[in-house]
Structure 1
Amino acid sequence: MQVNTQELIERFAKVFPGDSPRCVARAPGRVNLIGEHVDYNDGFVLPIAMSQALYVVAGPADDGHVTVNTTAFSESVRFPANDPGPPGSPMWGNYIRGVARMLLNRNVRIKPARLLIHSDVPVGGGVSSSAALEVGTAMALLTLAGQRLDPIPLALLARQAEHEYAHSPCGIMDQFICVLGKKDHALLLDCRSQEYEQLPLRFPETVLAVMNTQVKHEIGGSEYPVRQRQCQEGLAILKAGHPHIASLRDVTSEHLDTCEKRMDVVAFSRCRHVVTEIRRTQQAADALRLHDATQFGQLMTESHVSLRDDYAVSCPELDALVDLATGVPGCYGARMTGGGFGGCAIALIHRSAEQPLRDAITKEYDTRFKKPAIVYVTVPADGAFVHSL
């Protein structure tokens, strides 16, 4: 859905009578094409910035406070501009408080402000609505303060806010793609060195179908930290046998084979996913360079199988969507994307397959799970930016 920023500006005037907006920040959601649950294991990831985004309309205030309203929730968030306070309620407000705290820690003098937030990025869908909220808020507050941050420091600040205020131990991918996204490109990101490469996404007549299970998840209280701990348990055993290994990035299938008997079966499976997923992501980048949609799609589907069987972060709804998508002629491949346990699956499809995919999901998924899956198409878009008014 195309967001009309003029309508948001007019809505700001209704929500905050007498106040005038000075800027509109736009921060996109993201779809990770492949490379799941490897960012916190020093791996490679291959996300795109989505055409769907979060918008922050911002203007100055004269009451010493930052006041935040959204078009999605009835609650508002309000705190002194010089003291955002500790994490609290509502939960979504913690991302904003966290960003404010991190900016203050960098000696940014936050100005009292009015913020109106609107988003067409699905919340809890595994497409990084939280990173969009963090980055969009930071850019708006920086603009009102007459300051700016370069993309990488901005991404790292947003990630720190999520760590400290949402207690979600995310890697660097979500915030990096939010600020570094480029139209018609995917971002190959090395999560160890933070080096990246913009790769053109040139698969003629293809689109990405995003299929939202409408099963919600909150990573902070989920199995996400458990998976990280299991990876570290396996890594400790691998290090004991191979002292040169610093992270699972350094592990080969041969290393895993030599340590399998000394590892817990669950930890072994988790490590196997990470090792093979890092390899698949590098192969997928090669497929992009060769414009080979068939190979790319096959790697996507293999990734889902590994996430389902070895990493155990899928769910019946995600599996059903992937199975339905891969059964439609014109689908190159499909997989869950994001943290898992709900959220979204994605499919690389020929344009002609969009309606057959929608029809198959309506017929099968909606009947089986007694709720509709929301399907929309996205394309690689530019990263976050702010427009002064």
Structure 2
Amino acid sequence: MSEGLAASAQEQFAAAFGHAPQGVVFVPGRVNLIGEHVDYNDGLVLPMPVREGTAIAWRSAPGGEIHVKAADFGSEDRFDLSLPEKPEATDWRAYVRGMCALAPVRPVSGLQLLITGNLPRGSGLSSSASLCVGVGKALAEAADDEADSVALAQAAQRTEHEWVGVACGIMDQMAVAAGEPGKALMLDCRDLSRQQVALPHDWAVGIVDSGVTRGLVDGEYNARRAQCESAAAKLGVASLRDADLAMVESGDLDPLERKRALHVVEEIARVGSAARAIAAGDLPAMCTVLREGHASLRDLFEVSVPAVDELVERIDALLGDAGAARMTGAGFGGSIVVVGERDAIGGLPALLARPVRLAF
């Protein structure tokens, strides 16, 4: 747990409600090393938890009301735990209410909740998944129970779908619910089988904020998913996980669908290449994977933006053979992930004249 953030949540809870909380949960955000836009295509992904995340202080309360305060927004919400209603706006309240409605474990009494976090909003580091899984964990603790990580992730994904309107895959939710600090999570998004992958001790994973805030509920994310599903249907497969390059190149797809499908098929293969590179400590191979992945997101999936492309190119030039960068997350801004020699990444902030946060 992020001790500083947990202590802050406890202090803010006491100030807001006039008494100490019974407990505090912490859920990290995530950065994805490779495997972008393939989770909703039943593909393989390689995310890892980051140091920053969401802390939720909680205390049981009489009755069945949830009283939640979002410290970072200076706002609050009250609703009946037995029958949460969708709020008019899809802001933080939609995530909290949706998770309270769908969580696998819930207390019988009401709750007071204080939410705070240190994940930059719009950075592509899964602040929404962190929030949802955090709410689920707080509910389980208040019920004196322990929710299964897969059940928590699935409830958080349903919250995104049904309460927020984002047709996301399950990578983010599984990464923050089941990931381990300092390790990447090799996740099969079809059957949710997974393994923890330790990175070489002399490697580091850096995160650079591009300065371009992105959002998902503008339709672009859902449009990409629809294009992939249309391509899969035309190819006669359940999902693009079951397609190969020969099928995509010869299939009756329109030009846009072909580009999307090519990215997915090649990106899934890149995840396997990345896992082998990590296991072998082969940094040049990992750098190739990252650079090819960014080019594919830029040219085939078309979810990057010029400011991000320029920053990725600059980081690649600065690192040379010592590391590589690519956009991470759904796209249209957000963060850049950098994998490379620990010493080289340690020197990046001075060269870039901007912060570089370490994932672990």
C-alpha distance in 1, partners of 2:90/2:225? Answer: 27
C-alpha distance in 1, partners of 2:6/2:192? Answer: 33
> Which residue is equivalent to 1:85?
85
Q: Is the 8 A contact 1:206 1:348 kept in 2?
A: yes
C-alpha distance in 1, partners of 2:41/2:158? Answer: 17
Q: CA deviation at 1:63?
A: 5.6
Q: Which runs of 5+ in 2 are unaligned?
A: none
The one-letter amino acid paired with 2:188 is: D
> Which residue is equivalent to 1:220?
217
Q: What is the root-mean-square deviation in Å for CA atoms of aligned residues?
A: 1.8
Q: Is the 8 A contact 2:66 2:113 kept in 1?
A: yes
SS at match of 1:199: strand
C-alpha distance in 2, partners of 1:198/1:62? Answer: 41
Matches within 5 A, 1:7-46: 7-17=8-18, 19-46=19-46
C-alpha distance in 2, partners of 1:250/1:90? Answer: 34
> Which residue is equivalent to 2:146?
148
The one-letter amino acid paired with 2:6 is: T
TM-score normalised by structure 1 residue count: 0.87
SS at match of 1:296: helix
- Return 36-45 or 74-83, whichever deviates more: 74-83
State, as a whole percentage, how many aligned pairs show the same letter. 35
Per-residue Cα deviation, 1:272-296 (whole angstroms, up to 9, x for no partner): 0001001111111111221212211
Q: CA deviation at 1:131?
A: 0.6
Q: Is the 8 A contact 2:47 2:184 kept in 1?
A: yes
C-alpha distance in 2, partners of 1:88/1:360? Answer: 45
> Which residue is equivalent to 2:114?
116
C-alpha distance in 2, partners of 1:44/1:329? Answer: 27
C-alpha distance in 1, partners of 2:326/2:56? Answer: 31
> Which residue is equivalent to 2:228?
231
Q: CA deviation at 1:258?
A: 1.5
> Which residue is equivalent to 1:382?
none
> Which residue is equivalent to 2:327?
336
Q: Is the 8 A contact 1:324 1:360 kept in 2?
A: no
SS at match of 1:21: coil
Q: CA deviation at 1:355?
A: 5.4
SS at match of 1:113: strand
Q: Is the 8 A contact 1:100 1:110 kept in 2?
A: no
Q: CA deviation at 1:264?
A: 1.1
SS at match of 1:349: strand
Q: Is the 8 A contact 1:216 1:343 kept in 2?
A: yes
> Which residue is equivalent to 1:349?
340
> Which residue is equivalent to 2:283?
293
Per-residue Cα deviation, 1:152-196 (whole angstroms, up to 9, x for no partner): 111111111121111111111111111111133211111112111
C-alpha distance in 2, partners of 1:190/1:319? Answer: 28
Q: Which runs of 5+ in 1 are unaligned?
A: 240-244, 363-372, 380-389
Q: Is the 8 A contact 1:58 1:116 kept in 2?
A: yes
SS at match of 2:337: strand
C-alpha distance in 1, partners of 2:81/2:248? Answer: 51
Q: CA deviation at 1:107?
A: 7.4
> Which residue is equivalent to 2:157?
159
Q: Is the 8 A contact 1:298 1:332 kept in 2?
A: no
